[in-house]
Amino acid sequence: QIQLVQSGPELKKPGESVKISCKASGYTFTDYAMHWVKQVPGKGLKWMGWINTYTGKPTYADDFKGRFVFSLEASASTANLQISNLKNEDTANVFCATGGMSPFAYWGQGTLVTVSS
Amino acid sequence: DIQMTQSPSFLSASVGDRVTINCKASQNINRYLNWYQQKLGEAPKLLIYNANSLQTGIPSRFSGSGSGTDFTLTISSLQPEDVATYFCLQHNSWPYTFGAGTKLELK
């Protein structure tokens, strides 16, 4: 069965960087795109963008251009999200999600990123 | 960007009730609409994809309908384990956008 397992919670200071990983199993990694989604605790969800797992090409939503980088370690079936120059408003639960019959069919468990001085 | 207007934002219902949740898109999204259930502290779970297709393993009391701009998620007979937040997602065009969510509680 398709599974996405994300790295653990992170506590960072403003200005620092963080890297979140999402390890996929149960399917051929390059068959489906990997999406990233932000959820501020108690609030709604926002699509951050996606990475083509076959070509490695990332696409960023407008609010996530500049400080956000999607990357792959295809040999390890892992997608990564790096956020640099962290701000308080980056505090959120971040999910990876991939497709099957539909995009966003399967989700990781989420990684809580807390930015606090 | 396509705006997804979800209603109601809060819903209280009794076990056995028929429950409906709506999502309205600001422009035509064909049938590229998914419905999710999210319980506290968990990842979203796909219930319905492409407006009316039931995801494998999801109970048949969940169903979806609609196309174009108006969509509905129906729970035919509410069960206690259905207490959760539900939201829609349009994947017709970038940027993909979500409804704000409907918090469903037991009366």
- Per-residue tens of pLDDT for chain B, all 107 residues: 999 999 999 999 999 999 999 999 999 999 999 999 999 889 999 999 999 999 999 999 999 999 999 999 999 999 999 999 999 999 999 999 999 999 999 99
Pairing of strands A34-39, A45-51: antiparallel
CB of A67 closer than 8 Å to CB of A61: no
Q: How far is A45 from chain B (nearest CA, A)?
A: 6
Distances (CA, A) of B44 to B34, B40, B85, B98: 11, 10, 9, 12
B95 to chain A: closest CA residue: A61
**Partner-chain contact B34 A101, CB within 8 Å:** no
Closest C-alpha to B1, from B100, B97, B98: B97
Q: Give the model's pLDDT for residue A103.
A: 87
Closest-CA distance of chain B to residue A14, Å: 25
Position B4 scores a pLDDT of 97
- Mean pLDDT score of chain B: 96
In chain B, whose CA is at the least distance from the CA of A38?
Answer: B98
Per CB-CB distance under 8 Å, the chain B contacts of A35 are 96
Task: Please name the amino acid found at residue A46.
Answer: K
The one-letter amino acid at B34: N
> Per residue in A97-117, pLDDT tens?
998 778 899 999 999 999 999
> Using a CB-CB distance cutoff of 8 angstroms, which residues of chain A are in contact with residue B47?
none
**pLDDT score for A42:** 79
